[in-house]
Structure 1
Amino acid sequence: MSSSDPAKVAVLISGRGSNMQALAAAQGPEYQVVLVASDRPDAAGLAWARTEGLATFALSPRGIGKIAYEDALDAALRAAGADYIALAGYMRLLSDTFVARWRGRIVNIHPSLLPRYKGLDTHARAIAAGDAAGGCSVHVVTEELDGGEVLGRAEVPIRADDDADTLAARVLAEEHRLYPAVLKEFVRA
């Protein structure tokens, strides 16, 4: 890849793919989405990707196991020519072996202000703790869950009447803004 070619990014999803859609909409001279892959063949985001002319890959790990699944995923990523992987609502934990194969080239968007609230139920946890703000973070994926270098954050004030769903909706809007901007910087670093 020359410095003038866009980086080739594969986006991994498990559901509706709204962050994948934001990343696809922001493609340009910095990066291009070369594959949308999912561990759920019925993921709504795959249908959207197909209608947009994006290449897709879908395979469930059920019945074949994690190692065979990740080997097939890795082969699909390499066949698509991916330079980087962007996790966008991908709900499977990647093995240390898979992360090592792609070290320094996998990023994720997480719905909290890391290092706070790694894992699930981040919005409810922030509200329960009495935090003034929630938000989202883009980080490099490492073997430690939500533990890699944070590349960017966006804060969202927590309102007195917020519940996990209302906060999540406002944070998601920030995710859609933050993720493409950080990805553009990351692939050019």
Structure 2
Amino acid sequence: VALSKQHRSGLLLKHFRELPTDEGKNGWTNPVRFAVTVTLPDGLPEQSFELSIPKERMRDLAGNVNEQDVVYHVEYDRTPPEMTLSKTSPDTLVLDSPFSVTLTASESVRTLEATALRVDGGRVSRLTPQGHNAFVAEVIPETVGEIRVEVPSDEVEDFAGNANEEKAALL
């Protein structure tokens, strides 16, 4: 397969290489996988783009061509999700009585685990996802006084792999 460097919407394809595969046994032709490295120009704004290989544009050594278009959608995102914490109930905290904290991300995120939350003066008994960017934590106070609930940095990732910055709420 030959693919020259091409500019497409300001993107430069730098490397196009074949990856090894263990598929295709019993005399069948091995399927071939490829990796493409895309270099984005400095200052490029966040955006969506696609990399496409039109049908009949790739040819194997036997002369067979790809029968379908292949399209890869990529989201170029460098912004980390921001977390906001707010107490939702009750107004007065009672020792050993749970209260709820809503954790909201500024964008869709991957799953957050209850063990990732830091609680000074209490513990998280349950964490429930609420869609793609919010969670409700049930917190049980274990001391009298102020309770601090915190989402440490690098515990929440968006779908581009950007990790959150540390945010905390004092209750």
TM-score bracket, shorter-length normalisation: under 0.3
Normalising by structure 2, what TM-score?
Answer: 0.24
Q: Which structure has greater helix proportion?
A: 1
Q: Which structure has greater strand proportion?
A: 2
